[in-house]
Amino acid sequence: MQNISYDLITALPEIIVVSMAMLILLADFFIKPANRIVLYILAQATLLAAVCATLMTYVPSVGYAFTNTFVDDSLADILKLMTYIGTALIFVYSRQYIQQRNMYRGEFYALVLFSVLGMMIMISGQSMLTLYIGLELLSLSLYALVALDRDNARATEAAMKYFVLGALASGMLLYGMSMIYGATGSLNIAEIQSTLMSQKANSVLILGLVFIVSGIAFKLGAVPFQMWVPDVYEGSPTAVTMLISSVPKFAAFAMVIRLLAQGLGTQAMVVEWQQMLIMMAVLSIIIGNITAIAQTNLKRMLAYSTISHVGFILFGVFSASMNGLSSAMFYVASYVLMTLAGFGMILLLSRKGFEADQLENLKGLNQRSPWYAFLLMIVMLSMMGFPFTVGFIAKFSVLQAAFQAGYMWLVVFAAIMACIGAFYYLRVVWYMYFEAPNDHNPIVAPLEMRVILSLNVIALIALGVMPEILLELCGFAITKSLS
Amino acid sequence: MTFFGLPFHDIVFYVLAAILLYAAINVIITRNPVYAALYLVLAFFTAAGIWLLLEAEFLAITLVLVYVGAVMVLFLFVVMMLDINLDKLREGFWNALPVALPVGGLMAVEMVMIVGTRHFGVDKVAAPVAHAADYSNTAELGRVLYTDYLLPFELASVVLLVAIVAAIALTLRSRKESKSMDPAKQVLVKKEDRLRILKMDATVEKIDVIVVPTEEAK
């Protein structure tokens, strides 16, 4: 507490985001509905300012602020930059959609920015207290966003489900944290780690760990805590589904790193959580891939696809090596990029009063627009893990890490499951190219959305051909903050 | 000061704990929701008493003021105003019991095993040091709240702000049929909006006098 100016500079990106979110709330009051583009520009400017602040305050060393409740390391900075970019893409893709659905209000942008703040706090949380409050901030904003289109009964139902189950998961996480606090006497991640160095795993720690892993699994959407994922994805307005499914995964990944790899990352504890994560990873890949085959709703299908992707991310995490964690981070980054492009396509095909969320709506997309059909094909191939796309590199690197850690049979199994999963991704491609269109409405979208969506999809190929930069960035972030 | 071989402090604890358990069990099993809410108030009071024993007087008073004084009163209002159909809520109780009872029992046994004296006994966790009479728990809490826990404290306020924004965004509707006044519009009214002045020629119309014949004239 001696050095408040250092604390404030370290938390500058957070301060910018929270101030601008409040400014947008106030500005909404004075701006006529016709000029609401100002709010959109303000929201994008906030993210740009946060990017600048994060880059300008970057230092290679690890800094602790606010009496060790907040950490500023390379991992935090890189994950935050990815979060800003992802959120900026969400703002671009969702503008037309929310305009058509009575959600184009200051609250939308303010709540999204508050959820971004929650993610940033989770990414930088060095104390279990900060991590938990960041998570609550994120979750509360998301519940409200799901229900924001309040005359939509399905969205309200989804929000209620999400809220009740989310509150349960938060409670479990908090209970686990209280157990860890009881066993170690500290909330601070680094202190917990140093206390545990000299301790063997006892039943208090294991109970705490079980609850913490359950809470994290819920937030990630891993089996057996996946029940909310399909319902919430399907019921939410697509713009909000895109938000829920994408950038919060960075924060959840950061929480995994902070709690499991740093706080509970001692030799005795790693063995314990590895087993739990192996179970969850295997089950997620099975249930995600097999159930997705039976879906006719595109959003539900992507929800199950998310569950299987989370399984792959956990493959990288339970390897518990530098290589495993950095490939898991690479997987998260590429997953977010693919998901944003996928939901961006659904938003592009939707129009006022019409949701393009059925697989049938994609029939004959090639005849309606060859370019968009091509883009969606790339997204699907990348999610499937086709060579020369980023999805392939991501799957390859997590499985390679698991292989190095000695889980050969699990790797073989995951590869087989990925092949089964290819069926439902390729079915989308089949619908687009080999079926006759049943919808002849023109596809209308703002220029910036079309350009950026195309660039997003091209990035999937570009990163698939030249993954070195992103791979090195992830490796750099993980080694800097874990060694 | 000991009674029956127990220190006075312990006796107070056991009495309060017994009342707390009694009240908490009654919150669950009582049929009338108003009684349940009142039992919850009792549970809060006794919990506050236990906190006082632990020298956490600020928390104890806050618990009474905030939970008993504000939250539970609101809760009672809601319970009394809503017509809750309890029979419907209790449907399926006996069907779920065979599954719920073993699961609940198992969890209770596990929790007793873990949070019991084996891991949190007096030999494992040192007893708290008793403070002098002029020690201010409130001042100490305030000191750490605004220094060591500044960031979580500020973030908690952001969480509350999000709750306000969400509550307003989800529930506030301007009803079309409501006849509310808008003072801003009222003061902006100009004379021209309300008063129409017609120019008329300054002539006097000639009025024909009609003579109504009276009954006598006939």
Distance from the A187 Cα atom to the nearest Cα atom in chain B, whole angstroms: 11
pLDDT at B177 over 80: no
Cβ–Cβ of B162/A207 closer than 8 Å?
A: no
Domain edges within chain A = 2-482
In contact, A147 and A159? CB cutoff 8 Å: yes
Q: Can you tell me the distance from the alpha carbon of A471 to that of B176, in angstroms, rounded to the nearest whole number?
A: 57
Please, which pLDDT band fits residue B218 given cuts at 50, 70 and 90? low
- Greatest alpha-carbon pair distance for chain B in Å reads 127
Interface of A with B in 88-107 (CB under 8 A): 105, 107
pLDDT at B180 over 80: no
Peptide bond into A437 cis (omega under 30): no
The pLDDT score that the predictor gives to residue A209 is 94
Average pLDDT for residues B160-186, to the nearest whole number?
A: 84
Tokens (6 digits) for A125: 């949380």
ipTM metric: 0.93
Tokens (6 digits) for B33: 């929701």
Tokens (6 digits) for A437: 């269109």
For B90-142, how does the pLDDT look when each residue is reduced to its tens digit (9 = 90+)? 777 788 889 999 999 998 898 888 877 778 877 777 777 778 878 888 898 99
pLDDT in tens, chain A (483 residues): 457 888 999 999 999 999 999 999 999 989 988 899 999 999 999 999 999 999 998 988 888 999 899 999 999 999 999 999 999 999 999 999 999 988 888 999 999 999 999 999 999 999 999 999 999 999 999 999 999 988 889 999 999 999 999 999 999 999 999 999 988 889 999 999 999 988 887 888 998 999 999 999 998 999 899 999 999 999 999 999 999 999 999 999 999 999 999 999 888 899 999 999 999 999 999 999 999 999 999 999 999 999 999 999 999 999 989 999 999 999 999 999 999 999 999 999 998 888 888 998 899 899 989 999 999 999 999 999 999 999 999 999 999 999 999 999 999 999 999 999 999 999 999 999 999 888 888 888 899 999 999 999 999 999 999 999 999 999 999 998 887
At A63, which helix (H) or strand (E)?
strand A63-65
- Cβ partners under 8 Å of residue A3, min gap 6: none
Cβ–Cβ of B170/A140 closer than 8 Å?
A: no
Tokens (6 digits) for A297: 């709703």
Whole-model pTM: value is: 0.90
B153: which chain A residues are within 8 Å (Cβ-Cβ)? none
Closest partner CB to B170 (pick from A110, A137, A144): A144
Instruction: Decide if A141 touches B, using CB distance below 8 A.
Output: yes
B114: which chain A residues are within 8 Å (Cβ-Cβ)? 179, 203-204, 207
Q: Dihedral, CA atoms, B151, B157, B162, B165, nearest 10 degrees?
A: -150
